[in-house]
Structure 1
Amino acid sequence: MSEHFLVTGGNRLEGEVLVGGAKNSVLKLMAAALLAEGTTVVTNCPDILDVPLMADVLRGLGCEVELEDSEVRITTPAEPKYHADFDAVKQFRASVCVLGPLVARCRRAVVALPGGDAIGSRPLDMHQSGLRLLGARSEIEHGCVVAEADDLHGANIRLVFPSVGATENILMAAVLARGETVIDNAAREPEIVDLCNMLNEMGAKVSGGGSSTLTIQGVRKLEPTTHRVIGDRIVAATWGVAASITRGDVRVRGVNHKHLGLVLDKLRTAGAEVTPEVDGFRVIQRERPKAVNFATLPYPGFPTDLQPMAIGLAAVAEGTSMITENVFESRFRFVEEMIRLGADARTDGHHAVIRGVPVLSSAPVWSSDIRAGAGLVLAGLVADGTTEVHDIFHIDRGYPRFVENLRGLGGVIERVGTE
């Protein structure tokens, strides 16, 4: 039995939506619990499929994990297992973030190569080279990344690209390494800052979070903590774009609007009234959106995770937009599905040119990843008739209570099971 969405277009979204914890943060925070013996509690966890998957990964490593409402309790043993070669690891990309903590705690790790979204090449070269500079040996063997070290020591590490995953793994290995580690050209995402804050609460000595240089003074031992996950800026921005694309009025709560500075500026350029608020922001779009150019870049640039939403907005905007994808080369697979919906779009290399049309036309479409799925639903909201969105398990991996939240804003969506 598989499921798909039936999305009926034509309704203006109005109301308020509460955003939960960030998917791109919670899974890394759960992995960080491996760094300390005892019980670590992570609160404000989103109700998404990847959280129980990560819980399964941690259980396979010897942890006891309890999931209750929006809280995860992780009890890590004195000697965690180091071999993460099981089905859960292969189902989502973030599972690789156990690599750094395992090398730090066990001095050895065997982690099956991760799965996840089909959005392009995401090799582990920088993860491995960083661990090698810290004193580990690392190779790819039999479908697993293998790392082991007699001792970990501080190092000066410069990333060739500000990779979020590589920054996280190297950071989590370095907190228990001997001496000082400096990571240059580190990722600057708010989720990295969230991880740095949690590690410091556990007794680590990390400075520079949010800048391109992280400095870590290694410590001998970390202690468990209780930490609240930051709000999900990608989910929040999705609802903001949904307001703009449907000419709606939506208040988004539970997120720091400062984490979305460029995104909200783009919505203003499209003609929306955007008002920052204490715990979120409000988007009102009174007329047809205007064409806007987007170029994805690492934070604080425009997020690649919002590229499908940008294309959906451009598809019904007045004028011609150019979308440039600078992070994941295969993310434009989404454009093929938008063309099914009547979008006037063409791609050339890492550019897409979108000529806006007044309304899209309903059709069956297929999600290739989490964000593409959400983007297709948004497009369905401004299509005539009812759009079928298939492979929605992707959406469930990143958007908690997606149907309930969309219906609460006045959207017409139904989850349907099929053989």
Structure 2
Amino acid sequence: MITTLNPSKTFVLTGGNKLSGTVKLSGAKNAALPMIAAACLGELPTVLDNVPVDLRDVKILIQILQEAGAEIHVDGNSVSCSRGNFPNAPVNPIASEIRYSLLLLGLASALGSELLLPMPGGCKIGDRKYDLHLMGLSKLGSTISETEEGIHVSSKGNIGSQIEFYLPTTSGTENIMIAAATAQGETTILNANTRPEIMEMAKLMNLMGADVECSNRVVHIKGVKNIKGGVRYSVMAGWDEAVTYIIASAMTGGEVCIPDFSMDFIREDVRLLREIGVDVFEWGGAVYASGVKLKKSFDLFTAPYPGINSDMQPIFAALAFVASGKSTITDLRFTERFKYVDELKKFGGSIYSFGNTAIVEGGKELRGTEVNATDLRGGASCILTGLIAEGTTVINNISQIQRGYENITPKLQQLGANIDIQ
């Protein structure tokens, strides 16, 4: 049973150590969460391997699905999922702590049922609307209403439709893919987000018996009467985790090896890293990165895949502290995702933000301080900055970081970081 968030624990780290060595990635959180929901479409159990089961968001999603009637069993890093009697019970209010609880709406809609979902949560990174989720479900024929209690969905069977998003939404695309899987007729999602996690989810759904086609920014779903399930699939490695450890090592002048990983999903991140002065290459089924060279300032603009994801801009902001000159970081997706800037200022570096842009002047002396993890990636950027700051850094509200980085403390320790939880 998951309890409410306990932000009392802290990360305590001392900067100055060079991070080098080998780090093994966990399964990608943002791939595992929608795949768990999609697997619950199946009559027969579908087994997902390489699931980051220690992440709080994953634990919460599994719990709320189980309590609402889905059959889910965890065995190590493998999770068996089927629809069971979903939904046959109220959704636990803890669902409000994660944004991916929204996918329960699509799941209930696909199964021709009804559900009341507490208002979803997740990182507070500016305007994260869910109106596209509701619009898409309504276009498929589901009845949607919002009250103080939450979001209510009711469906007696969906009908395929053409749905156009005014901006590409990751979880919105996934929600409509799930809901349309059993709809009568065909559904086309235009301006969809077709990042790697969504491609992987489509592969899983097709193995289970769905008919989903993904191309660049377009998803086409042919509805089927029933999703059988009964397959096995491995969750992709966490590309965002890979970029984080590459940058952590590069900032400290170290070298890192990431086994069982390829650069396929981080091509644009790698292109920018190489421009900055970080050597990244692939050999023998592993990715290697070296940060021994001087780093140059850079200009970053986030973009839908295959561009650099908005998630990564706080991570690159920390890297800018060790680059010579002035770097600019512009977020074209979440224009208010700069709460972390005030925390990074506490280290004594030169960073400020306005509108949807942050400016970082590299090369300033940084000192350890006490900061708060404002959100998942903002918290990670505080860790990275603390790794190069003189003295001790204390990071509060670390539950935000632990939502997305499985076993981050031992992984950083393995690379040589002086970090612990207190």
TM-score by length of 2: 0.95
Cα pair 1:57 1:84 within 8 Å, conserved: no
Cα pair 1:153 1:178 within 8 Å, conserved: yes
Alignment partner, residue 233 of structure 1: 239
Structure 1 unmatched ranges of 5 or more? none
Which of residues 48, 55, 59 is equivalent to 1:48? 55
Alignment partner, residue 406 of structure 1: 412
Residue 401 of structure 2 is aligned to residue 395 of structure 1: yes
Single out whichever of 102-111 and 258-267 deviates more from structure 2.
Answer: 102-111
Aligned-pair Cα RMSD in Å:
1.5
Which of residues 171, 175, 181 is equivalent to 1:175? 181
Alignment partner, residue 3 of structure 2: none
Alignment partner, residue 220 of structure 2: 215
Distance 1:212 1:133 in 2: 19
Alignment partner, residue 74 of structure 1: 81
Report how far residue 82 of structure 1 moved: 5.7
Which of residues 279, 294, 300 is equivalent to 1:288? 294
1:352-396: per-residue Cα shift (whole Å, max 9, x none)?
111112431110000011111111111100000011111111111
Cα pair 1:311 1:323 within 8 Å, conserved: yes
Q: Aligned pair in 2 of structure 1 residues 102, 277: CA closer, same or farther (>3 Å)?
A: farther
Distance 2:209 2:75 in 1: 26
Cα pair 1:175 1:218 within 8 Å, conserved: yes
Cα pair 1:44 1:228 within 8 Å, conserved: yes
1:39-91: per-residue Cα shift (whole Å, max 9, x none)?
221110113121211111111211232222211122431x3126653232011
Alignment partner, residue 115 of structure 2: 109
Single out whichever of 168-177 and 35-44 deviates more from structure 2.
Answer: 35-44
Report how far residue 279 of structure 1 moved: 3.6
Corresponding letter in the other structure for 1:213: V
Alignment partner, residue 315 of structure 1: 321
Distance 1:326 1:278 in 2: 36
- The equivalences for 1:145-294 within 5 A come to 145-208=151-214, 210-224=215-229, 225-294=231-300
Distance 1:380 1:301 in 2: 27
Report how far residue 228 of structure 1 moved: 0.8
Alignment partner, residue 59 of structure 1: 66
Corresponding letter in the other structure for 2:249: A
Distance 1:223 1:278 in 2: 37
1:161-205: per-residue Cα shift (whole Å, max 9, x none)?
110011001111111000111111110110000110010010011
Cα pair 1:182 1:214 within 8 Å, conserved: yes
Find the residue that maps to 1:168 and give its secondary structure. Answer: helix
Distance 1:84 1:347 in 2: 43
Which of residues 66, 81, 99 is equivalent to 1:93? 99
Single out whichever of 42-51 and 405-414 deviates more from structure 2.
Answer: 42-51
Distance 1:129 1:245 in 2: 43
Single out whichever of 18-27 and 254-263 deviates more from structure 2.
Answer: 254-263
Find the residue that maps to 2:313 and give its secondary structure. Answer: helix
Distance 1:10 1:31 in 2: 42
Report how far residue 121 of structure 1 moved: 1.6
Cα pair 1:243 1:285 within 8 Å, conserved: yes
Cα pair 1:83 1:110 within 8 Å, conserved: no
Q: Aligned pair in 2 of structure 1 residues 328, 84: CA closer, same or farther (>3 Å)?
A: farther
Cα pair 1:373 1:394 within 8 Å, conserved: yes
Find the residue that maps to 2:336 and give its secondary structure. Answer: coil
Single out whichever of 133-142 and 236-245 deviates more from structure 2.
Answer: 133-142
Find the residue that maps to 1:88 and give its secondary structure. Answer: helix
Cα pair 2:110 2:157 within 8 Å, conserved: no
Structure 2 unmatched ranges of 5 or more? 1-5
Q: Aligned pair in 2 of structure 1 residues 84, 241: CA closer, same or farther (>3 Å)?
A: farther
Identity of aligned residues (%): 32
Cα pair 1:317 1:358 within 8 Å, conserved: no
- The equivalences for 1:297-312 within 5 A come to 297-312=303-318
Find the residue that maps to 1:266 and give its secondary structure. Answer: helix
Cα pair 1:175 1:204 within 8 Å, conserved: yes
Q: Aligned pair in 2 of structure 1 residues 415, 39: CA closer, same or farther (>3 Å)?
A: same
Corresponding letter in the other structure for 2:14: T
Aligned residues: 414
Report how far residue 244 of structure 1 moved: 1.5
Distance 2:86 2:55 in 1: 26
Distance 2:283 2:153 in 1: 46
Report how far residue 278 of structure 1 moved: 4.9
Corresponding letter in the other structure for 1:175: A
Residue 369 of structure 2 is aligned to residue 363 of structure 1: yes
Distance 2:274 2:303 in 1: 19
Runs of 4+ in 1 over 4 A off after TM superposition: none
Report how far residue 230 of structure 1 moved: 0.7
Single out whichever of 22-31 and 35-44 deviates more from structure 2.
Answer: 35-44
Cα pair 1:118 1:330 within 8 Å, conserved: no
Distance 1:143 1:295 in 2: 38
Residue 372 of structure 2 is aligned to residue 382 of structure 1: no
Q: Aligned pair in 2 of structure 1 residues 355, 164: CA closer, same or farther (>3 Å)?
A: same
Distance 2:16 2:311 in 1: 25
